[in-house]
Amino acid sequence: MGKTTAVIQLPHGTLPLPAFLPDATKGLVRSLDSRDLENCGVKAVVMNTYHLMQNPGSSTIRALGGLHHMSGWQRPIITDSGGFQIYSLIRQNPSYGSISSKGATFFTGEGKSSPKKYHLSPEKSIQLQLNYGSDIIICLDDCTHVDARFSTQEESVRRTIGWAKRSKKEYIRLLDQKGFSSQNRPLIFAVIQGGGSFELRKICAQELSDIEFDGYGYGGWPLDNQGHLLVDLLEYVRSLIPSTYPLHALGVASPEAVTACFRMGYILFDGAMPTRDARHGRLYVFKSNPASIPNIDNDWFSYLYIFDDKHIKSSSPISLFCDCLVCQNYSLGYLHHLFKISDSLAHRLATINNLRFMNQLMENL
Ligand SMILES: [Zn+2]
């Protein structure tokens, strides 16, 4: 395991590491408010530049005082550059937009009478993230599928490096223009691409290190087609970056994957899985006291499916070892009932449990 700094100092406070950041893609973690997040022990969230530029839109975010003021969240915010949407929208379906060395153009509202066009360049992504008041800004990158052709990966790496250079330049220019100091500036991270190629990952990591960023991210989907973590590749990328730099495993969010990546030396994680699972009734359960499981191995947690009929009359909590609001106050039977009648309270309570689980896991790692 690599040596990592215990905390990162950011404009909106100190971020203790390791940290799991829930995705607050459109400016919220679905079904929770900011007080709920604090009570779950959430230390920071990830919001998404691409989605926010559409809704509510940059000028509205500015009018509402920036992302922190708008969402009532006073702890750090990392903003995702929009690079993953280049992959998930445009690369998966070219009718949704186009990519060139200049940046990406997204077409939305396809088939409607007035489709909208959004352009995202490396410079624009930095401008938006700085205007939003983000604590960690991520450079726009060109994300690919891990199994894409070598030529595609090569092009993506070349573009990602070129965009990172332009992003850094724009970042320096804006810090200067807006009067940020080394004490109150947001940090800037770059994302290492290269798909399944060790050679390209190495080139990308070296070139990005030469440009110098505050931290780095592992880019691209971290799982293979069978849903297994790409352990060799993740370990290799960790080895390419000096352990003094924080490394973010972008999109790594399941309890097993987070634990495995932490052991490799990754210290930042984010993803929608714990909150999405919660809304679908898949709850995370510690099988023993998390404080007494320093050697987390196979049998330390389980999934609980709240729709199972066996919970109908259960007066037990989700977990005897969880200190969340739900486990302290409500039974499985009541939660099952809330899910059965599709009340929004079901989503809120289940999400609170899963996020508290992830944060207890972080506190004990
Ligand atoms: Zn709980």
The shares of helix, strand and coil residues in the chain, as percent rounded to the nearest 5, are 45, 20, 35
- C-alpha of residue 349 to centroid of ligand 1, in Å: 9
Is residue 248 within 8 A of residue 216, CB to CB? The reply is yes
Question: Which pLDDT value is given to residue 354?
Answer: 98
Q: Which helix (H) or strand (E) holds 262?
A: helix 255-264
- C-alpha of residue 9 to centroid of ligand 1, in Å: 29
- C-alpha of residue 133 to centroid of ligand 1, in Å: 32
Q: Which residue has the tokens 């850094």?
A: 168
- C-alpha of residue 48 to centroid of ligand 1, in Å: 27
Question: Which pLDDT value is given to residue 18?
Answer: 96
Provide CB contacts within 8 A for 277, sequence distance 6+. 283, 284, 303, 354
Question: Which pLDDT value is given to residue 87?
Answer: 82
Pairwise CA distance, residues 253 & 85, whole Å? 18
Pairwise CA distance, residues 362 & 365, whole Å? 5
Question: Which pLDDT value is given to residue 1?
Answer: 38
- C-alpha of residue 35 to centroid of ligand 1, in Å: 16
Question: Which pLDDT value is given to residue 3?
Answer: 42
Q: Which are the catalytic amino acids? A: 80, 270
Verdict on whether the full-model pTM lies above 0.85: yes
Provide CB contacts within 8 A for 36, sequence distance 6+. 348, 351, 352
Question: Which pLDDT value is given to residue 298?
Answer: 65
- C-alpha of residue 333 to centroid of ligand 1, in Å: 14
Residue by residue, DSSP assigns 114-153 as: S-EEEEE-HHHHHHHHHHHT-SEEE-------TTS-HHHH
- Cα Rg of the chain, angstroms: 21
- C-alpha of residue 6 to centroid of ligand 1, in Å: 26
Q: What is residue 207's three-state secondary structure?
A: helix
Question: Is the alpha carbon torsion for 173, 136, 92, 27 positive or negative?
Answer: negative
Is residue 34 within 8 A of residue 40, CB to CB? The reply is no
Residue 322: CB atoms within 10 A of its CB come to 23
- C-alpha of residue 40 to centroid of ligand 1, in Å: 9
Residue 164: CB atoms within 10 A of its CB come to 25
Q: Are strands 103-108 and 97-100 parallel, antiparallel or unpaired?
A: antiparallel
Question: Which pLDDT value is given to residue 140?
Answer: 96
Of 273, 324, 269, 281, give the one whose Cα is nearest residue 4: 269
Residue 90: CB atoms within 10 A of its CB come to 19
Cis before 18? omega within 30 = yes
Query: Which positions of the chain have pLDDT values less than 70?
Result: 1-5, 110-114, 293-298
Question: Which pLDDT value is given to residue 262?
Answer: 95
